[in-house]
Amino acid sequence: MKIYLDGKLVDREKAVISVFDHGLLYGDGVFEGIRTYDSLVFRLKEHIDRLYRSADAIELKIPLTKPEMVKAVIDTLKANSLKDAYIRLVVTRGVGDLGLDPRKCPKATVFIIADKIALYPQKYYEHGLAIITASTRRNLPQALDPRIKSLNYLNNILAKIEAIKAGTEEAIMLSYDKHVAECTGDNIFIVLGGKLMTPLVSIGALEGITRDAVIKIAKASGIPFCEKILNMEDLYAASEVFLTGTAAEIVPVVKIDGQMIGDGKPGKLTLNLREELKKLTKSDGVKYEV
């Protein structure tokens, strides 16, 4: 495996960063998870744009232009002869000292990993996922803007631990005032009263790239849709619930906190949207040759 690291493609064993890198010491950095399908990088422009927006939000200067970053992603895929892959693109503050001061980090560190990923077993796509509601609250938007896809994921990890202890794969995270925000690694949608709904990002949800793709599909298909404040009662009453994410794609939810959703099977709209997303992954992105 070849890893892109600060302008060079190096063997996995040689892809190392300093223990003084502030990405390691303080989680000071940003990242993107990106998918490729049959040599097409899905929504690459949107991912790169979000990466740079996240970096700007924390005043982190990326030492590559956007076209150079796109080339680095493609070069990494080609070096690993991957047509279908998951890409982890990371930019850290770089090497500094043991203090917090970002001025002590003269240059950001950039690395890109391209590999395979299967976030959920196939059985969950066929039969649906049972999830819980975590007691761990989503970070306050005023404390850490959820639109920043940063390396600070401890909040999500604590909620993930709750899910694992409960014997499931995912957990819903609520805002400080108990509104539905998102899951530990995925956005969430519901079908209620014949309308597709998802939480407002201002509640504390990431502006997911796959979330945006699903919204685009829904609007183009004439499916009634809105972003709104959702409570757990809305989820329990929903006829369908599903999660979206770059790695997850679209995965149906059939049970929340032990309560069955709809008829306990993946819903018709969920399955239709999943098929439409598959079509989109064949056209919406950047093509390359291995």
Active site residues: 149
129-162 in b/e form (b: 16+ CB < 10 A) is bbbbbbebbbbebeeebbebbbbbeebbebbbeb
- Please give the structure tokens belonging to residue 24: 């390691």
User: In this structure, are residues 62 and 55 in contact, taking their beta carbons and an 8 Å threshold?
Assistant: yes
Helix or strand or coil: residue 54? helix
- Please give the structure tokens belonging to residue 27: 């989680």
Question: Among residues 24, 23, 28, which one has the least CA distance to residue 57?
Answer: 28
| CA 199 from centroid of its chain's CA atoms | 15
Helix or strand or coil: residue 68? helix
